[in-house]
Structure 1
Amino acid sequence: MKTQADHKIILIGAGFISGVHARAIQSLPDCQIKAIVDPNLAAAKALAGQFEIPQCFSHLEEALAAVTFDTAHVLTPPNTHFELVQALLHHGKHVLVEKPMAETIADCDTLNALAQAQGLTLAVNQNFVFHPVMEKAKQYLDANAIGPVKSVSLNYEMPLRQLDSGQFGHWMFRKPVNLLLEQAVHPLSQLLSLFGAPSGPLISRISQIKTLNDQPCILRLDAMGDLAVPFHLSFALGQSFPVWQLEITGEDGSLHLDFIRQRVILNERSRFLPALDTAVTASAMAGSLLSQGFRQLIDYAGAITGFKPSKDPFFLSMQASIRAFYQSIETKQHPIHNATFGRTLVALCHQLAGKSLGAQHLQATQAPRAKPRAMPLTEQRPYDVLVIGGTGFIGRHVVRQLLTAGYSVGIMARHLDALPECFQHPAIQWIQGDVCDQATVDHAVSRATYVINLAHGGGSGDWQAIQHAMVDSARYVALACQSHGITRLVHLGSIASLYLGNDRTVIHSASPVDSAPHHRAHYARAKAMADHMLMHEFSTLDVVLLRPGIVVGEGGLIQHTGIGFFNNSQYFIGWNLGHNPLPFVLVQDVASATLAAMTQPDAKGKTLNLVGDVRPSAREYVAMLRKGLSRPYRYVPQLTLWLYLQELGKWAIKRMAGRHPEIPSLRDLRSRAMNARFDTSGEKRLLNWHPVNDWQVFYQQAVLVHQPPSATAVHSQADQATPAMHNALTPDSSSNKVSAL
């Protein structure tokens, strides 16, 4: 029998999933994490500090030479799995690798053969096989609750964060099959774990493809075939409403598994006559739903207060997957998620992609578009404008306008993958680097005449991390501009640095930052500190500070936190009752003001607020979205004080449970409601700036721009054909607002 900490483990990779693995491992009595390996040593050290892990390394070879361990968890991007797992197996280590096992079937076969030759356990973390709902379903099936199974249907229609946020440089968008290897393996693994591998040919059809990074991206796929029973899979990504349901039909009943709502519904006969059977079975199902719902509520309350362990299904599935892996090492039995299982899933994904796209078309699209090359320092030429963070939402519009105006542009960004066609421009030079890297910033700035800083450092986590990412990075840019005599620095901050909670306050260009930033959320506090630092510590530097309002438009977010917060994508939960005009501004107008601020002599040393002339309330904006996008969006008004009392109640519960969260701030919530008014007449005169003042143009560029291409065409035809549509968008003569929304 294993003794305490008999499994000595290293984690390779220090991303989000590594924290989940670390937490699950530390919940097992016979496991101890000895080290973390990640090229980003700072990330490794942060994770090590959180979980009290003794050592960190940048490379696997260092860990192999310095640490005694028997098992490794490979938690890196899929394109690195093969080499890392192969090296670990050669060194006699058991391996649990995140899905997919490898990119190709041949690589999976090589790893599987090597693990068998070495007598080692190799498993793939298909954790949703161990989801609590799956465990409940297996109990019903083992008890023959629905009799012999006749057919299976799995519907997987889920959002995809990377798709929504435009992170097209992600590995999953590099080849058509990658999206299946990254996402489709979740439902496929559940089908295969219950009913085995396909026993015959598959019929598959892709009904929705989107081109990303010059690659066909599979967004919707249907597949049919035979496992132990006939099955149908409906797979779709980029969906707003999440659906993940498995329907198992038997001779004597059916099972409905809902993985989103964490429930299992057994539909079976009763002993009564048909007239009464309907009522009896409906009552039984309702009772089951109520019981499961209340149990989840009790579990959630217990976890929040600390009286019960977390029942989060994702964590429980991870914990069960990892526990099964270590039990298989001890018993020398193959786990359900072994290398053969992982290989079958990879082969199935390739088969589905190949059948649906066609092998010839698939081969013709294997090579992704070459990403822009970051030039070595010795090759870099001077450029007119350095745009730091030029690949972001606002940055893309700024770069487009700079190129149109004839400027040569240097763009500094952390990632250079999957950029729009406009970035393949001869007037652009690329500098790959992080704004928190002072040396890289200095080199990039040294070749510029003007500098536009749009980056905030990507800060997240605790206050120290956010301060470093947002305040220190702004200081590095300013120091470099000062050192190299830059003609002008244009720094884009945010109106979040101001206090906007008083409806009697009129904000103008001379308004100071919030006088009590320590009572604000981390983001607003950091923005205020960065503004104050630039205006006071660098008083001799030619700098213009721009503070955009709620920026909307092409490439931006529909669910902007300036309108409210979101438990899901449908409900905009307001910071107040939602009647006050909000400081919206179109992204094109922010870009034009940025270019004007770069060269306007009188703008030196000024802080300018970029707020447009069309300022719908939160209610009006959500009504625009509902009408223009044909979606059931809803605004949920609430008193700011009531919201504060809710947050205070959550804080009190966490304190009683022994945690130490920061106390909520009423000042911060009032500022988020943005009751203050803005006077931008000074900004318009100084920059000769003319933001959009037509409500219909705003509606087009802030709302309709988010329609899918097909919907845009339909909407355009309806717009011409339906007088009611025009009436709905006719500005009211007294208020110049979109009426009848």
Structure 2
Amino acid sequence: MTQTPIRTAIIGAGYIADWHAEALKLTAGAELVAVCDRSKGAADGFAERYGLVAFHDLDELIAAKVCDAVHILTPPDSHAALATKCLSAGMHCFVEKPVALSLADTKKIVEASEKHEKTFAAGHNFLGLPSYERLQTLVTTGDLGRITSAEVNWHFPLAPLRSGPFGLWLLKEPKNLLLELGPHLFAFAQDLFGPVEVEALSLGKPIALPADTDRPQSWRILARAGDVDVTFNLSLVETVDDRSVVVRGSSALARLNYANDTLVLQRENASDLVLNPLRRELDLAAQHLREGVVNAARQLSSLNRKSAYGLGFQGAFKAFYSALQSGNALDTRFDGAAAIEVMRAIDDVIAMMPKAAAKPKPATKKKPKPSVLVVGGTGFIGRALTRKLVAQGHDVRVLSRGKTGPFDDIADQVELYSASLSDPEALAGAMEGIEAVYHLGKSLDITWEGCLKNDVGVTLALAEAAQKADVMRFIYTGTIASYDMSRPDDTITEHTGFAEDMTDRNLYARSKAKCEEELLKLHDTKGLPLVIARPGIVVGEGGPLQHWGIGRWHGAGAVRIWGDGSNILPFVLIDDVADALVLMKDTPEAVGKSFNLVADPMMSARDYFAAIHQSLGANIRVSSGNLTAFWAADAVKYALKKHVLRRHGAIRPSLADWKSRAHLSPFDNRLPKEILGWAPESRREVFVQKAIVEANLLGF
């Protein structure tokens, strides 16, 4: 007899929601029916992608009685309140990690679950991996012998620590980094060995956040679980990816790579001293080959829907929904008792952390009177521009979702303003007192329809609101990526046009070009005081090591550059871009013109990585990328997405689009120099110092 599926809703339509939705499609007994998010755009867009009912208020979702269970994927500081409310309303809850911000709040969720007889599951998703289940069996059955010690490692770069966005919840307080990542580590140890008793904490590699205090980027935690010595290593600098669990027993050593869902065992053998090492290494080689082949076959057959991350969710969801369907107790990997023990250990570590230093404060207590509005002001370019404007005496209004950000030290001159870009009244309020508007924002859409709505539509709404407010300047940042840069013999100037037909270009290039086209119409027909900036490959302090304008990255240690890497790239320093943007506001002759912000010819991709090696000692493995091969592989993926996965809106960029990523065409940068008086850095040694050394690319 077929059981009725558990009707499920997702609360919180952010990045992680797509992972949950895709995993739920493959989970027996689950039926995703609704999504709830306070952001109407986020909820409606997610609902449209997955064919769901959208709600914008939790009370409405509860009243509608459309679901039996919810997945809570909102920021962690809201988890406890939402979970207890949903459990009280009679819904089962799967809560993303961290399930709460403290042991006390975690206990409240468990108590609500028990009181209302509903199931609560903690999102310890890596415990759902097939490879972890194999490791768990090895430990339980004693195949590894008596366990002596274990290491649980998370060595994986966290780019927002160095390049933002800095308004993320996990960066608001030093302890949030542990709350965000710690559950992965402690869940392994707690499930394998029992409750964890923390003994010592060592923090290192601090990094200063803009307008904030330092954040540790390395954590070393010594603990015991029963008679097992456990070391937790957490490192967030630019390093080789090592997310692993190493369990040492009297009979064997097991190494779980939970980022790739692989497990290998190192055992002793009874051969003599000559053959013993050979047999050991051959055994390891055979295991690695087996794990690699199994993984490759799984990814190929599932079209990457069964990545390690996806498999973890599927395993966790399987445990959750099978318990709901059968009425049996939830698997102890994910139950309330496990959540309590994990949070108990995290609380103990937090108690050992030094007291955070006081955050920087502005020089005065005056309220800013903004004359400049920056949309996208918390991004890489926006932060530099905002500080440049303040340094020149301007008060600035920054459109932001949060009330705190990377400008707390100059809060007497920067106003953070929350406004929906799709709300005309809110935009009108944002324009009050404003003389110049900078639009640096860009939506992250995966379909052309989404670009038209969330990028082009929003850009036009901003421009129209600015014009109604009679601003003196509207400055839009396009991108050089909209050009066809596939021919080395074509020198690009501001007179070089975009292709009439952009349908064979990537969505970013096409959407930016469409925004420019529509803004120019407003300039020509209605007198919008428009200036367009097209930055090149922007580098410098606050920028990432893994810059995808240079190549396709495979962790911090390897990159496949676009093309052979011998052509000069259109680099430009972040400070020079900020200077140019300010000049556009102050130069009347700039209105109606566009400017390609590219520095003088400086270095190729290979020169850039050689300079990183020489300056920082980081020998990044650089490989040439055959652009025709990239294009051909993408064509295969496009066919599979369209005809197998039935993904509407899938795009296929042309070969010229792929070649443009190598920036094969050189640029002529005379126009911004002549009109704006712009003087980008032209000395190579100074460029290297600012773009690489002072940029703190490695984080330490």
Given the two structures, how large is their TM-score scaled by the length of structure 2?
Answer: 0.92
Q: Does 1:454 align with 2:468?
A: no
Relative to structure 1, the CA distance from residue 515 to residue 618 in structure 2 (aligned partners, 3 Å threshold; closer, same or farther) is: farther
Alignment deviations for residues 105-143 of structure 1 (CA, whole Å, 9 cap, x no partner): 222222222322333322212111222221111232344
Closer, same or farther: CA 666–299 of 1 in aligned 2, 3 Å:
same
2:406 alignment partner, SS class = coil
Change (3 A) 1:28 1:551: closer
For the residue of structure 1 that corresponds to 2:435, the secondary structure is strand
- 2:331 corresponds to: 335
Instruction: Provide closer, same or farther for how the CA distance between residues 122 and 682 of structure 1 changes in structure 2, counting only shifts above 3 A.
Output: closer
Which of 230, 241, 244 is equivalent to 1:232? 230
- The aligned amino acid for 1:24 is A
Q: Unpaired runs of 5+ in structure 2?
A: none
1:146 and 1:251 in contact (8 A); partners too:
yes
Report if aligned partners of 2:157, 2:235 keep a CA contact under 8 Å in 1: yes
State whether residues 389 and 395 of structure 1, in contact with CA within 8 Å, keep that contact through their aligned partners in structure 2.
yes
Counterpart CA distance in 2 for 1:482 and 1:677 is 36
Per-residue deviation, 1:8: 2.7
Aligned to 1:722: none
The one-letter code sitting in structure 2 at the alignment partner of 1:574 is I
Structure 2 match to 1:183:
181
Q: Which residue of 2 aligns with 1:322?
A: 317
State the alpha-carbon separation in 2 of the partners of residues 91 and 517 from structure 1.
Answer: 50
Q: How does 1:235-314 map to 2 (within 5 A)?
A: 235-240=233-238, 241-304=240-303, 310-314=305-309
C-alpha deviation, 1:296, in angstroms: 1.4
Q: Name the SS of the counterpart of 1:411 in structure 2.
A: strand
Superposed displacement of residue 216, structure 1: 5.3
Q: Distance in 1 between matches of 2:505 and 2:242?
A: 37
How many angstroms apart in 1 are the aligned matches of 2:663 and 2:222? 53
* Deviation at residue 239 of structure 1 after TM alignment: 2.9
Aligned-partner SS, 1:519: coil
Which residue of the partner structure matches residue 402 of structure 1?
389
CA distance in 2, matches of 1:61, 1:682: 57
Aligned to 1:697: 686
Q: Deviations over 1:533-565 (max 9, x none)?
A: 222332122222222211211112333333222
Pair member with larger Rg = 1
State the distance in 1 between where 2:400 and 2:662 align: 32
Aligned 8 A contact 2:150 2:230 in 1: yes
**Paired residue for 1:386, among 337, 362, 373?**
373
Rounded Cα–Cα distance in structure 2 between residues aligned with 1:267 and 1:641: 42
Taking a change above 3 Å as real, the CA distance of residues 591 and 224 of structure 1, as seen in their structure-2 partners, is closer
Asked whether the equivalents of residues 500 and 671 of structure 1 are also in contact (C-alpha less than 8 Å), the reply is yes
Verify: 1:119 aligned to 2:117, yes or no. Answer: yes
Distance 2:413 2:147 in 1: 63
Counterpart of 1:22? 21
2:622 to 627, 630, 635: 635
Q: Give secondary structure in 1 for the equivalent of 2:149.
A: strand
The CA deviation at 1:421 is 4.9
Asked whether the equivalents of residues 409 and 429 of structure 1 are also in contact (C-alpha less than 8 Å), the reply is yes
The residue that corresponds to 1:419 in the other structure is 406
1:481 pairs with one of 466, 474, 480: 466
CA–CA separation in structure 1 for the residues paired with 2:235 and 2:445: 27
Q: Is 2:99 the partner of 1:101?
A: yes
In the alignment, is the contact (CA less than 8 A) between 1:644 and 1:666 conserved in 2? yes
CA contact (8 A) 2:402 2:416 kept: no
- Per the alignment, residue 349 of structure 2 pairs with 352
CA 72–471 in structure 1, closer or farther in 2 if over 3 Å, else same: closer
Residue 91 of structure 1 corresponds to which residue in structure 2?
Answer: 89
- Asked whether 1:685 is paired with 2:674, we answer yes
SS of residue paired to 2:694? helix
Distance (whole Å) between structure 1 residues aligned to residue 662 and residue 618 of structure 2:
24
- Structure 1's 704 and 225: CA in aligned 2 closer, same or farther, altered over 3 A? closer
Q: Is the 8 A contact 1:11 1:74 kept in 2?
A: yes
1:581 is aligned to 568
Structure 1's unaligned 5+ residue stretches are 712-741
Q: Does 2:658 match 1:669?
A: yes
Matches within 5 A, 1:611-630: 611-630=598-617
Give the stretch that moved more between structures: 291-300 or 39-48. 39-48
- After superposition, the Cα gap between the structure-2 partners of 1:430 and 1:178, relative to the gap in structure 1 and judged at 3 Å, is closer
Partner of 2:217, secondary structure, is strand
Going from structure 1 to structure 2, the CA distance change for 1:635 and 1:481 (only over 3 Å counts) comes to: same
What is the distance in 1 between the residues matched to 2:413 and 2:618?
A: 41
The amino acid of 1:347's aligned partner reads R
- Tell me which of the two structures has the higher relative contact order, counting C-alpha pairs closer than 8 angstroms and 6 or more residues apart: 2
**Percent of aligned pairs with the same amino acid:** 27
**Superposition deviation, residue 509 in structure 1:** 2.7
Equivalent AA in structure 2 for residue 625 of structure 1: I
Distance across 1 between alignment mates of 2:17 and 2:379: 27
The 5 Å alignment of 1:134-173 reads 134-173=132-171
- Compare 611-620 and 213-222 and name the one that shifted more: 213-222
The residue type paired with residue 312 of structure 1 is S
Query: How far does residue 232 in structure 1 lie from its aligned partner after superposition?
Result: 2.5
- Aligned residue for 1:254, secondary structure, equals strand
Question: How far did 1:61 drift?
Answer: 1.2
1:445 aligns with 2:419: no
1:429 aligns with 2:415: yes
Q: Which digits, 9 at most, give the CA deviation of each residue in 1:215-249, with x for residues without a partner?
A: 55343222223213322223223232111222222
1:510 matched to 2:505: no
CA distance, structure 1, for counterparts of residue 390 and residue 360 of structure 2 = 22
In 1, Cα distance between the equivalents of 2:336 and 2:660? 54
Over 3 Å counting, the alpha-carbon distance change for 1:570 and 1:369 in structure 2 is same
What are the equivalent positions in structure 2 for 1:535-550 lying under 5 Å apart? 535-539=520-524, 540-550=527-537
Shift of the alpha carbon at 1:252?
Answer: 1.9
- Write the distance in 1 (CA, Å) between the matches of 2:237 and 2:120: 34
- Larger mean Cα displacement after TM superposition, 7-16 or 436-445: 436-445
Contact 2:252/2:268 (<8 A) preserved: yes
**Which is further off, 667-676 or 639-648?**
639-648
Q: Residues 177 and 349 of structure 1 are in contact (CA less than 8 Å); yes or no, is this contact kept in structure 2?
A: no
Q: Structure 2 vs 1, CA of residues 405 and 619 (structure 1 numbering), >3 Å: closer, same or farther?
A: same
Bigger mean CA offset, 180-189 vs 268-277? 268-277
User: How far is 1:611 from its partner?
Assistant: 1.4
SS at match of 2:243: strand
Deviation at 1:469, TM superposition (A): 2.8
Which is worse superposed, 113-122 or 639-648? Answer: 639-648
Deviations 1:717-738 (A, max 9, x none): xxxxxxxxxxxxxxxxxxxxxx
Cα distance, 1:639 vs structure 2: 4.2
- Tell me the CA shift for residue 206 of structure 1: 2.6
> How far did residue 473 of structure 1 move?
2.3
- Following the alignment from structure 2 to structure 1, what is the Cα–Cα distance between the partners of residues 642 and 51? 23
* Amino acid across the alignment from 1:326: Y
Against the structure 1 CA distance between its residues 237 and 504, is the aligned structure 2 distance closer, same or farther, given a 3 Å change threshold?
same
Measured at CA, do residues 592 and 349 of structure 1 come closer, stay the same or move farther in structure 2, by a change above 3 Å? same
Quote the Cα distance in structure 1 between the aligned partners of 2:361 and 2:75.
19
Q: What is the CA deviation profile of residues 255-296 of structure 1, one whole-angstrom value per residue up to 9, with x for unaligned ones?
A: 222223432222223343343333223222221111111121
Distance 1:147 1:371, change over 3 A: farther
Change (3 A) 1:295 1:427: closer
Task: Give me the whole-angstrom Cα distance separating, in 2, the residues matched to 1:709 and 1:20.
Answer: 29
Once the two structures are superposed, residues 291-329 of structure 1 have per-residue CA deviations (whole angstroms, 9 ceiling, x without a partner) of 11112122222223xxxx843222222122122123333
1:192 deviation in Å?
0.7
CA contact (8 A) 1:208 1:221 kept: no
Deviation, structure 1 residue 15: 1.9
Q: TM-score, normalised by structure 1?
A: 0.87
Amino acid at match of 2:300: A
Residue number in structure 1 paired with 2:696: 707
Matched residues in 2 for 1:708 and 1:420: separation? 22
Alpha carbons 1:8, 1:34 under 8 Å: kept: yes
**One-letter identity of the residue aligned with 1:514:** A
* 1:736 aligned partner: none
